[in-house]
């Protein structure tokens, strides 16, 4: 029977915390840029201008059809050279973190855009009509009337997607970045304690994500109760 030995974890905690900070950093930037770019994509998709709408549809469908791992690998292998040559960077500059962040943001924005599009479409058409009747332009009616309502309904979904994204950051493993999971793996590999470190990493993700999703659920309930009144 396997004998557990958890002794290498306490000493590794500072490294693991550094790794967790990287994971959170990637999550946060990807969420912010993903929502911003996703909103733009959603509005393009719904726009009456055909080329814009085609571009957005193509972008979203392409990114939703391919695996995240592949996108990250692509960014890991190709984008660093591109960034270096475009910005004439010193070849020793580490751009792995930046390119991982860009990869995540571009990829996740496709998913965010679909959530946001559904949110915008859930606002009754009468609202746009009412806004136009008050003399608002299309942009004004979007910004002042439609998007605020849409976002309120979407917040739980956007947060749930953020939890998924946080889990997905573990995939930067393919670019050898030291995020939380990558660090746990390296420590386990170094000390010959892969079993313990992997189980520990799983437990940490589980506790964090479960807690976060319970919070989202509670928020959703509050929101529903609020709407019902």
Site residues for other proteins per CB under 8 A: 1-2, 62, 65-70, 73-74, 77-78, 85, 167-168, 170-171, 173-174, 181, 185, 194-195, 198-199, 201-202, 205-206, 209-210, 213
CB of 1 to other proteins, least distance (A): 7
CB of 195 to other proteins, least distance (A): 5
In the complex with other proteins, which residue's Cβ is closer, 13 or 195? 195
CB of 133 to other proteins, least distance (A): 33
In the complex with other proteins, which residue's Cβ is closer, 54 or 74? 74
Contact, 22 vs 179, CB < 8 A?
yes
CB of 74 to other proteins, least distance (A): 5
In the complex with other proteins, which residue's Cβ is closer, 133 or 189? 189
CB of 138 to other proteins, least distance (A): 31
> C-alpha distances in angstroms, 54 versus 48, 62, 182?
10, 12, 38
In the complex with other proteins, which residue's Cβ is closer, 32 or 77? 77
CB of 29 to other proteins, least distance (A): 18
In the complex with other proteins, which residue's Cβ is closer, 148 or 192? 192
In the complex with other proteins, which residue's Cβ is closer, 40 or 73? 73
């Amino acid at each position: 029977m396997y004998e557990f030995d958890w002794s290498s974890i306490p000493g590794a905690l500072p490294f693991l915390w550094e790794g967790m900070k990287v994971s959170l950093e990637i999550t946060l930037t990807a969420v912010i840029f993903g929502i911003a770019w996703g909103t733009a994509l959603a509005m393009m998709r719904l726009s009456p201008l055909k080329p814009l709408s085609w571009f957005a549809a193509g972008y979203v469908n392409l990114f939703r059809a391919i695996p995240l791992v592949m996108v990250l690998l692509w960014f890991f292998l190709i984008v660093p050279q591109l960034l270096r040559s475009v910005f004439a960077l010193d070849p020793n500059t580490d751009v792995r973190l930046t390119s991982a962040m860009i990869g995540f943001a571009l990829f996740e924005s496709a998913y965010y855009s679909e959530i946001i599009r559904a949110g915008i479409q859930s606002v009754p058409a009468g609202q746009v009509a009412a806004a136009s009747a008050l003399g608002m332009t299309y942009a004004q009616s979007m910004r002042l009337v439609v998007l605020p309502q849409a976002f309120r309904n979407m917040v739980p979904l956007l947060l749930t997607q953020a939890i998924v994204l946080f889990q997905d950051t573990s995939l930067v493993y393919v670019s050898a970045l030291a995020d939380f999971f990558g660090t746990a793996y390296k420590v386990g590999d170094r000390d010959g304690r892969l079993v313990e470190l992997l189980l520990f990493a799983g437990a940490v993700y589980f506790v964090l994500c479960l807690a976060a999703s319970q919070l989202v659920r509670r928020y959703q309930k509050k929101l529903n109760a609020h709407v019902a009144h």
